[in-house]
Structure formats: structure tokens, C-alpha cells
Amino acid sequence: MISKTYTIINPTGFHVRPTKTFVQTASTFPCKINVINKGKRVNGKSSLSMLTLGIAANEEVTLEIDGEQEEQALEALGQLLTAIHE
């Protein structure tokens, strides 16, 4: 298992559009993906679960990834967490 913490830089936080992109990307990897924010851990492959986190701008989010292709998943999903979406 690997994990890394990221800061959300998108001024509007992690809303529906970036969440959809994140979940679609996460679902392409065969590993288990958890997202942790403010002490709450959810399945990173579930849009509804991700939206319940209510991730705002400048908040820290930790990715925990376990299984096959975990390094590739961490790299791809980390880029999405730190991107500025419109």
C-alpha cells in the first residue's frame, strides 16, 4: 500500500465535474483506492462517496492505494487532485 497527501488548488474545490473525472480514472485501475479528507475515508471509485467529502479549495486530501498498478494510479489521480478544473 502507498499513500500521499495532496492540497486541492482548484478555487472551487473538488466539485461534480472533477469528481466525475477522478472516479472514471480511478475505475481504470485494478487496485483499491481510498480518499481521506477531514478524517473521513471513502471509496475513490464511487462518485457519491467522493461528493460526500465536500472537498474545498486548499484542503488536504490523502490517497491510499493498494494493489496492482498502485504507483501508476497514485501518479494519475494525484495529478487530477492538484489540477485546476473549470
Active site members: 15
Beta bridge partners of 3: 64
Say how many C-beta atoms besides its own lie within 10 A of residue 67's C-beta: 12
| DSSP state at residue 14 | S
The continuous run of DSSP H or E covering 31 comes out as none
Closest by CA position to 73, among listed 31, 18, 19: 31
